[in-house]
């Protein structure tokens, strides 16, 4: 994604369009409003104003979930001009009016039910999406990642809260990322990590992973267990024992987060069907990652 769009997304996530216009944002970035909109549409699939509305919608959704504020107060606190405008945007983003969404705040299928934020991931034509999906399927951690013949899904952690991403093919030069996020802060980093799953910025086209820590854990397990199916089973066991539960996504094959480094460093790994040396390697790597001193591939 071009630096101009990255900077624009970061500014919008920090509230740059809460009390300003696309023209003023374009001025801050040193380009014309028309060029800014064109770049956003080309590389993010939304205009700056659309992204800003989505940000306000997510903030309003948090207020509906976490407070008992009146809906009118939430509308103005989130930067909407009226309750009617809040209703329209929430319906488009989350498929529900404010009262419906507030009633749903303790329902466990929220991540799947919410509409999510759709973004285009552009690339050149060298990506073979079907081959990439097969590669990812062979390495996917059960319950954390779900790969079909047309899509890749996984759970993600955003500031200790669960989220989910879905990636499908939109055209020969575009993937479609639908991000179900608890908040939009750090959005540009999430987009970058989503691109890395399919190595969209790597001319060698070696598909990667959402999280370098996961790559390290995979490598340690696969060094001892070369059989892909058995290695996946062990990784699934690891997630099932030590990964945080994510409710509401079982229909799409997702129920767990990948274990966090600090949790894995303290975990009782002796019950896993792997040699003591591998257990020691996993603990040491997890502790180093938790301390911030691990070297990831």
Domain spans, the chain = 3-106, 113-197, 212-291
Q: What are phi and psi of 155, to 5 degrees?
A: -85, 150
91 has pLDDT over 70: yes
The predicted pLDDT at position 185 comes to 67
Is 242's pLDDT higher than 80? yes
- Categorize the per-residue pLDDT at 180 as very low, low, confident or very high, splitting at 50, 70 and 90: confident
Q: What is the pLDDT of residue 53?
A: 86
**Closest by CA position to 258, among listed 277, 275, 241:** 241
Determine the angle formed by the axes of helices 228-242 and 212-224, rounding to 10 degrees: 130
Strands of the sheet with 174-180, listed across from one edge: 117-122, 174-180, 161-171, 151-158, 145-147
Give the CA count within 13 Å in the CB-facing half-sphere of 158.
21
User: Which is it for the CA torsion 73, 75, 81, 83, positive or negative?
Assistant: negative
According to CATH, what is the number of the domain 113-197?
3.30.310.20
Residues 6+ apart with CB under 8 A from 184: 13, 54, 55, 58, 117
Task: Using only the alpha carbons of the chain, give its radius of gyration.
Answer: 21
DSSP letters along 42-73, please? HHTSS-HHHHHHHHHHHHHHHHHHH----HHH
Strands (E), the chain: 117-122, 145-147, 151-158, 161-171, 174-180
pTM: 0.74
Tokens of 216: 């390290």
CATH 1.10.3720.10 is held by the domain 212-291: no
Q: Please say whether the beta carbons of 74 and 64 come within 8 A.
A: yes
In CATH, which of 1.10.10.10, 3.30.428.10, 1.10.10.60, 3.40.50.620 is domain 3-106?
1.10.10.60
pLDDT tens-place string over residues 121-137: 888 888 999 999 999 99
Q: What is the DSSP letter of 163?
A: E
């Amino acid at each position: 994604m071009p630096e101009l769009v990255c900077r624009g997304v970061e500014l919008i996530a920090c509230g740059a369009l809460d009390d300003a216009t696309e023209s003023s944002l374009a001025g801050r970035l040193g380009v014309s409003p028309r060029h800014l909109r064109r770049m956003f549409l080309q590389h993010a699939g939304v205009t700056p104003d659309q992204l800003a509305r989505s940000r306000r919608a997510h903030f309003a959704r948090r207020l509906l979930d976490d407070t008992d504020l009146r809906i009118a107060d939430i509308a103005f606190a989130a930067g909407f001009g009226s309750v009617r405008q809040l209703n329209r945007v929430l319906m488009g983003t989350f498929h529900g009016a404010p009262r419906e969404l507030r009633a749903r705040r303790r329902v466990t299928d929220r991540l799947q039910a919410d509409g999510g934020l759709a973004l285009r991931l552009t690339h050149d034509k060298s990506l073979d999406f079907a081959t990439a999906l097969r590669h990812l399927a062979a390495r996917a951690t059960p319950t954390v990642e779900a790969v079909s013949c047309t899509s890749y899904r996984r759970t993600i952690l955003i500031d200790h809260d669960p989220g989910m991403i879905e990636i499908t093919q939109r055209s020969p030069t575009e993937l479609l990322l639908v991000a179900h996020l608890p908040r939009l802060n750090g959005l540009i980093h999430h987009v970058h990590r989503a691109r890395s799953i399919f190595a969209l910025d790597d001319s060698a086209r070696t598909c990667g992973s959402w999280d370098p820590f996961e790559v390290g854990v995979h490598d340690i397990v696969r060094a001892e267990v070369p059989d892909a199916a058995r290695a996946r089973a062990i990784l699934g066991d690891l997630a099932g024992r030590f990964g945080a539960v994510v409710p509401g996504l079982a229909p799409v094959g997702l129920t767990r987060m990948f274990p966090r480094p600090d949790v894995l460093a303290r975990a009782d790994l002796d019950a896993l069907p792997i040699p003591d040396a591998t257990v020691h390697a996993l603990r040491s790597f997890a502790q180093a990652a938790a301390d911030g001193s691990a070297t990831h591939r």
